[in-house]
Amino acid sequence: GDSVTQMEGPVTLSEEAFLTINCTYTATGYPSLFWYVQYPGEGLQLLLKATKADDKGSNKGFEATYRKETTSFHLEKGSVQVSDSAVYFCALKSSGDKLTFGTGTRLAVRP
């Protein structure tokens, strides 16, 4: 079945550091890939997505590129801010319409 594996947290960084959160997947066919973010005290919200190989999703300075050859969708940001502190979830949607999520990675950014 479908599965998503993402790096375990927590990840602690200083402000303006470079961020990478790894995500790899196993799926049948050609899934759509997503990053969702959950800020403290808020609901889950879509951060970015990519629907086919080599697509790059981007939003709020975050980027992720759909790599079919390595079945990966790593999240990156060049310079994190304290306000980026949150839990980040990688997810996929293949056959059917349900999302399959990773376990989440907590990011803490220190001033």
Partner 1 sequence: GAGVSQSPSNKVTEKGKDVELRCDPISGHTALYWYRQRLGQGLEFLIYFQGNSAPDKSGLPSDRFSAERTGESVSTLTIQRTQQEDSAVYLCASSYQLAGGDTQYFGPGTRLTVL
- Torsion 59-63-64-65 (CA) sign: positive
CB of 18 to partner 1, least distance (A): 25
CB of 109 to partner 1, least distance (A): 21
* 64 in contact with partner 1 (CB under 8 A): no
What are the two backbone dihedrals, phi and then psi, of residue 80, each rounded to the nearest 5 degrees?
-80, 155
Nearer to partner 1, 49 or 77 (CB): 49
Q: What is the spatial distance between Cα 50 and Cα 28, in angstroms, rounded to a whole number?
A: 16
CB of 94 to partner 1, least distance (A): 11
